[in-house]
């Protein structure tokens, strides 16, 4: 098939492009390179079935494809708070433009949503039926509410135009090709540990997260996209293993052999206290669950960042 991946040069997008090419598809990677990097897709450039287009999804796109994966949007607080208005436009206008394209082509379309639609949850772990507790006017709202609105648009197109939609709610994911300066907890901790710098923990480090290795997540994407039309989602994709932020820091120090110390800073506004997916629906409908343990995934991620920092090729 001819497959369009928006945000295809990003962390998740580049892994998805690679996997789709390995399955024999023609892949059109669309990215405006705000957070995506040509380095992430450089190894794919000589593949005759891979094409790159610099484009911002807030503007309409006219191409001919069979499937669309809509991953375009900065996903870390550092990046999405840099230009919050543009972040909301990317989620909302981008969804409208990609849904319009899918409608014209009668193509199946996948939306990369997020666990942030649950906000600072009062239900734990979070099932898809939980509507969330989100601050609509906070500093994270451009991302949280943008993604919630995108889900609304997807379901309205599904109901109004009988469009074939798939929505995945992505929980914390990590692995090679994360941006070293994206402010996310795994990349932060690994880079600080490898540099021998203090590891920065916000709050007391007792807030919890669940960490899914990127290969497991991409497998979930593909299974959801291949599922029957009536399986629309939203479906949680993430690792149900739950760790405190302090536990993660201590694991990274142990695996890197770093002498870094832990330092504590004030907790940012609206930072969720708990985050853990209920993946019962993914298990039952897709036969999917994560297979890669945290230490195994962290070791692969540490090797990637170690090589990156050893070269001078860090943006």
Give the residue numbers marked as catalytic: 143
How far apart CA 128 and CA 167 sit, in angstroms, is 11
Enumerate helices (H) and strands (E) in the chain, giving the number of each.
10, 13
The full DSSP string for 123-154 is SSSB-TT---B--TTSTTHHHHHHHHHHHHHH
User: What 3-state class would DSSP assign to 29?
Assistant: strand
Cα dihedral across residues 61, 114, 82, 303: positive or negative:
negative
**β-pairing verdict for 50-54 and 67-70:** unpaired
How far apart CA 134 and CA 180 sit, in angstroms, is 28
For residue 279, CA distances in Å to 127, 186, 270 come to 7, 22, 24
Count the neighbouring beta carbons within 10 Å of the beta carbon of residue 18: 20
Residue 134, both tokens? 């989100």
Residue 206, both tokens? 């007792």
- What is the 3 state secondary structure string of 197-257? CCEEEECCCCCEECCEEHHHHHHHHHHHHHCCCCCCCCEEECCCCCEEHHHHHHHHHHHHC
How far apart CA 167 and CA 220 sit, in angstroms, is 11
What's the alpha-carbon Rg for the chain, to the nearest Å? 19
């Amino acid at each position: 098939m001819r497959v369009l991946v928006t945000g295809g040069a990003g962390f998740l997008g580049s892994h998805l492009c690679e996997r789709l090419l390995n399955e024999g598809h023609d892949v059109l990677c669309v990215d405006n390179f705000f957070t995506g990097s040509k380095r992430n897709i450089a190894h794919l450039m000589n593949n005759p079935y891979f094409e790159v287009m610099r484009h911002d999804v807030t503007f309409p796109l006219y191409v001919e494809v069979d499937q669309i994966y809509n991953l375009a949007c900065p996903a870390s607080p550092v990046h999405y708070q840099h230009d919050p208005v543009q972040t909301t436009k990317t989620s909302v206008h981008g969804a409208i433009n990609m849904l319009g394209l899918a409608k014209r082509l009668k193509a199946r379309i996948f939306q990369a949503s997020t666990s942030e639609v649950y906000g600072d949850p009062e239900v734990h772990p979070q099932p898809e039926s939980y509507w969330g507790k989100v601050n609509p006017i906070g500093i994270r709202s451009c991302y949280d509410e943008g993604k919630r609105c995108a889900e609304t648009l997807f379901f309205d197109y599904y109901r109004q135009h009988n469009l074939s939609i798939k929505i995945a709610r992505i929980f914390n994911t990590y692995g090679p090709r994360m941006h070293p300066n994206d402010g996310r907890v795994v990349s932060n901790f690994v880079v600080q540990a490898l540099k021998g710098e203090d590891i920065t923990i916000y709050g007391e480090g007792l807030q919890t997260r669940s960490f899914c290795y990127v290969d497991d997540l991409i497998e979930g994407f593909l299974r959801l996209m291949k599922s029957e039309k009536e399986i629309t989602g939203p479906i949680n994709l993430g690792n149900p293993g739950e760790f405190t932020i302090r536990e993660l820091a201590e694991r990274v120090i142990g695996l890197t052999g770093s002498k870094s110390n832990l330092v504590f800073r004030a907790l940012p506004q609206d930072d969720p206290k708990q985050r853990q997916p209920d993946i019962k629906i993914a298990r039952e409908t897709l036969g999917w669950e994560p297979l890669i343990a945290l230490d195994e995934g962290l070791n692969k991620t540490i090797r990637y960042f170690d090589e990156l920092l050893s070269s001078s090729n860090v943006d």
